[in-house]
Chains A and B, each alone.
Chain A
Amino acid sequence: MNNVITIFRRELGSYFATPVAYVFIVIFLIMSGALTFYLGHLYERGQADLNPFFQFHPWLYLFLVPAIAMRLWAEERKTGSIELLMTLPVSTGQAVVGKFLAAWVFIGIAVALTFPLWITVNYLGNPDNGVIFTAYLGSYLMAGGFLAIGACISAATRNQVIAFIITVVICFVFLLAGSPLVLNFFKAWIPQNIVDALSSLSFLTHYASIARGVIDVRDVIYFVSLIGCWLYANALVVDMKKTD
């Protein structure tokens, strides 16, 4: 546990030691604001809620989370610091979890900094703050899912650009797993029950109900186990590929 905390602190500190943190946070805030007001018409709708804001989160994460995740392991391998990390008395699992948590908390900071929007809708009307809180939670869980996928892919290559692109593609498939676009593509060549299983893996389906303020334990379990599985795979990939 101590090792996880030590790695977590080092990682989180390193975001703020480079411009990465500031660029990410600023872009995240500008994009989420722009999408909410221009595409989501937050004002014009005349309703005191944050639905237009949360509705764009999956699409925002689709590009911004892989940008954070791509460096997690690819950079360690590129610079060779992975040799140092893996010869310290730290298990691969501890390193994987410490790094993941640091990136997740970092994304959490960016998400939390959108609080002026929340204040604004409260100023303009009487929104259901319970719903908004739940939606934030769901959005954050979904970000964790994207991040775990990205962390695992990042361990598989030392090239951050490749890590980014592959992560975006995989996240895109997960996001739209329940939609006709993806289902039709797979229907042609895999059995129906696998297609059904695939559609139940969709981020959007699980996120949609949480974003409406309905916490279904199954949705939470879905995201938590998704994160768990990808992090487990992450540890395996690190051990397999660290020396290449």
Chain B
Amino acid sequence: MIDIEHLSKKFGHSVAVNDISFSVGSGEVLGFLGPNGAGKSTTMKMITGFLAPSSGVIRVCEYDVSRQPLEVKRRIGYLPEGASSYGEMTPFQYLEFIARVRGLKGRHKAERKKEVIERLHLEKVLNQSIETLSKGFKKRVGLAQAILHDPEVLILDEPTDGLDPNQKHEVREFIESIASEKVIVISTHILDEVDAICSRAIIIDDGRILVDDTPDGLRSRSSSNRLDDVFREITRASLT
């Protein structure tokens, strides 16, 4: 449902994403790994239609992102890096705004809002302005916003970064529980997470795909059988 062909992004003279191609199908949870500055967020911003690619094609649910951006945006739930939102709003107002923009109405809207508020345990902070929330709660509000319309495609940029261990666990469980009917791409620096929820992992560095494999396949690439070691070996090799 996500097809990416020869995607590149240049910022001035520097190349952030360099000719990458991959597809993700329904039921897959793709973990996007790579060192800082590898190009993970940039790729996600292009999939969600925020950044225009320098070259290449992205199709989401058969729609070309550059030709029919609104069709694509309707089908995607996106958690931006840093979970930026409107700070002066309360989570309650914010979710109401998102629900309206997403075209939810009446009973269905009320049910969806209730569901995400319960799932991400936002009850206590519903009427506090978002800018005064702790980092973890900001992230939870961002997640709630992303899943509010029950999208077919979820693009989550470091969804568990900043969450407490309980929340991390719950978010992982949540992702697992919906994974079978959806396309999910998450970026993360937590390699355990890849093991726990991803059915596939892509390691990129310097804008290029280095590895595209299952977590088990990845692990078998190192003698120690640990993902950390694999990550280090692969991304270090590309430095030299």
Contacts and interface: CB of A to CB of B under 8 A. Distances in A.
Interface of A: 2-3, 6-7, 10, 13-14, 17-18, 79-81, 83-84, 86-91, 242-243
Given A6-B97, A84-B145, A90-B101, 4 more contacts: A10-B89, A81-B85, A83-B80, A90-B70
Contacts of A2: 100, 103
Given A89-B101, A242-B50, A84 B45 contact: no
A10 B97 contact: yes
Contacts of A243: 45, 50-51
Interface stretch (B22-30, B71-79, B183-191): B71-79
Interface residues of B, number: 27
B51 A17 contact: no
B91 interface: no
18 contacts: A3-B101, A6-B97, A10-B86, A10-B97, A14-B88, A80-B80, A80-B84, A83-B80, A83-B84, A84-B145, A87-B80, A89-B74, A89-B102, A90-B70, A90-B101, A243-B45, A243-B50, A243-B51
A159 B89 CA distance: 22
Given A14-B89, A89-B73, A84 B102 contact: no
A77 B113 CA distance: 27
A79 B84 contact: yes
B50 A6 contact: no
B29 to A, nearest CB: 20
B82 interface: yes
Interface in B5-52: 45, 48-51
B76 A81 contact: no
